[in-house]
Amino acid sequence: MEKVLEFLKQLGKNNNREWFNDNRKWYEESREKVLFLTDVLINEIGEFDPAVRGLLPKDCIFRIFRDVRFSKDKRPYKTNFGSFICKGGRKSMNPGYYIHIEPGGCFVAGGIYMPPSPVLKSIRSFVADHAQEFLDITNDPDFKKQFPEMYGDKLKLAPKGFPKDHAYIDLLKYKSYIYSKALKDRVVVGDDYIEEVVQLYEQLYQVNVFLYDALAE
């Protein structure tokens, strides 16, 4: 991954089409390495989460090209690679496992990020009825050590349709149900990178099982 990180670092300094086109081969080689990593992770995750078995890496990796149509930031390229490994691929809005590769900003995550309103309402309803089960998973000492708190924005008030005095109203205010852990660049280029990431995903699996159940209701 060292060459991938170096490509992204240089892209960050030269975020323009001319440089990108001159270095397209470097980009394609980097993307192939991330696709290979994604394939390995799919196989490893499939050992404990059968929902991801048979996934194609190309259905998990995000495009490097930014959508600048409605953005003041007109830089054409992202300066990271990311893959979201979940049943049905990254566009399915299912719970899953995310890998993010960016110089100085690498991390792993699991859960479901910014789901559309109907999906979010289903999750909130399930959390409202099974809050203690969710807390038993996320307050487990081994889990808490790696993932101390849920990531993401929260509503200031109770979500529509839920009583503001619900015992676990803080859990229901989240717009995403996702946990993440930052990784040092030296971890990403190390020999134990895949093993360490898979161990983190194994812990996140229990959160995803809970979310699978929420969406099955």
Q: Which CATH number is 12's domain given?
A: 3.30.930
* CA-to-CA separations, 106 to 14, 26, 140, 175, in angstroms, rounded: 20, 20, 25, 23
Task: Check pLDDT > 80 for residue 68.
Answer: no
What letter does residue 122 receive in the DSSP assignment? H
Task: Check pLDDT > 90 for residue 70.
Answer: no
Q: Which residue in the block uniquely carries the two structure tokens 């190390």?
A: 190
Q: What tokens does 130 get?
A: 């099974």
Per-residue pLDDT tens digits for 3-52: 999 999 999 999 999 999 999 999 999 999 999 999 999 999 999 999 99
- Residue 82's domain comprises 2-216
Percentage of the chain surpassing pLDDT 90? 91
Number of domains in the chain: 1
Burial of 154 (0-12, 13-18, 19+ CB in 10 A): middle
Strand-pairing partners, residue 100, are 82, 107
Q: What tokens does 133 get?
A: 């089960």
Task: Check pLDDT > 70 for residue 217.
Answer: no
> What is the predicted pLDDT for the residue at 69?
81
Q: Which residue has the higher pLDDT, 151 or 147?
A: 147
Length of the chain measured in residues: 217
Task: Check pLDDT > 90 for residue 159.
Answer: yes
Taking all residues of the chain, what is their mean pLDDT, rounded to a whole number? 95
